[in-house]
Amino acid sequence: MSLALAPLDVSVEIEANLPCRKFDPDLWFSDSPAQLELAKSLCGDCPLRVECLAGAAERNEPWGVWGGEIFERGAVVPRKRPRGRPRKADVARDAELAHEVEERLAANGLDSRNSVRLAA
């Protein structure tokens, strides 16, 4: 008599440990820049970060944090700005962050010119 064992469903085990499954989902779609930065930081150790980012870029996600990056109107933005006119220091910081986003995408094997459209 032999016992047939069902295959272990690893995807269920992995999904339970994903940060977007452990924390409030609204955090990834917040209007608050501070909460979006927190969501980005939680994505840092996610085992599906690269796949999540690639999928969001392919679907042109309209907004939210996907794969550790903030999407707004289908494009990756370095950070969410509050309403109103940005300060000069913020504009300079955004340029630095845009460069950092490019480097992170390249480090993950994503060519931003073809895979992800960066917002100006």
Residue 43, marked binder: yes
For residue 22, the surrounding DSSP H or E stretch is helix 19-22
Q: How many residues comprise the chain? A: 120
At 51, list the tokens: 């796949």
Residue 81, marked binder: no
Q: Are 50 and 109 in contact (CB under 8 A)?
A: yes
Residue 56, marked binder: no
Q: Which DSSP state fits 6?
A: P
Residue 111, marked binder: no
Binding-site residues for [4Fe-4S] cluster sit at 20, 43, 46, 52
Binding-site residues sit at 20, 43, 46, 52
